[in-house]
Amino acid sequence: MIDFTNGSVFKLTACDPGELVPQVAPFLIQGEQVIFGFRSVRDFVVFTNKRLMAVNVQGLTGSKTDFTTLPYNKIQAFSVETAGSFDRDTELDLWFSGLGQIRLEFKRNVDIRQLSQMIANYVL
């Protein structure tokens, strides 16, 4: 499982979700669609209409990959922090039943409000 306590792993930048679909397609269920995609250097996170999937590429060659699924129906609460004048990064905190808090940090230019609305639609 991915170590979500290491914030530097998840300093994410928005990317075209279509770029990530081929890598997660074997794990998607019928009717599941990738809505948002965010990437760091090698790792990435996708938000589907059913779950959040964090993908951790491991090793020097990247041949070993960890896919962690966090279903929306296990989210008990969530919080967003928008960018400010000096701190341009945004944050998303999610509290999952049986797992605890997960924090994802996003670089500037990520529309955290749009992501928050999507999560609210599936959680509330």
Distance CA 21, CA 18 (A): 5
Tens digits of pLDDT across the chain (124 residues): 556 555 444 579 999 999 999 999 999 999 999 999 999 888 899 999 999 999 988 877 767 889 999 999 999 999 999 877 666 788 999 999 988 899 899 987 788 899 999 999 999 8
What contacts 85, CB < 8 A, 6 or more positions away? none
CATH of residue 21's domain is 2.30.29.50
Q: Would 49 be classed as within a structural domain?
A: yes
pTM for the full predicted model: 0.86
Q: Would 4 be classed as within a structural domain?
A: no
Q: Would 6 be classed as within a structural domain?
A: no
Domain count, the chain: 1
Q: Would 26 be classed as within a structural domain?
A: yes
> Residue 109 is part of which domain span?
11-123
Q: Would 5 be classed as within a structural domain?
A: no
Specify whether the CB–CB gap between 14 and 20 falls below 8 A: no
Q: Would 3 be classed as within a structural domain?
A: no
Q: What is the DSSP letter of 21?
A: H
Token duo for residue 65: 């990959």
Q: Which among 95, 53, 93 is positioned nearest to 76, based on CA atoms?
A: 95
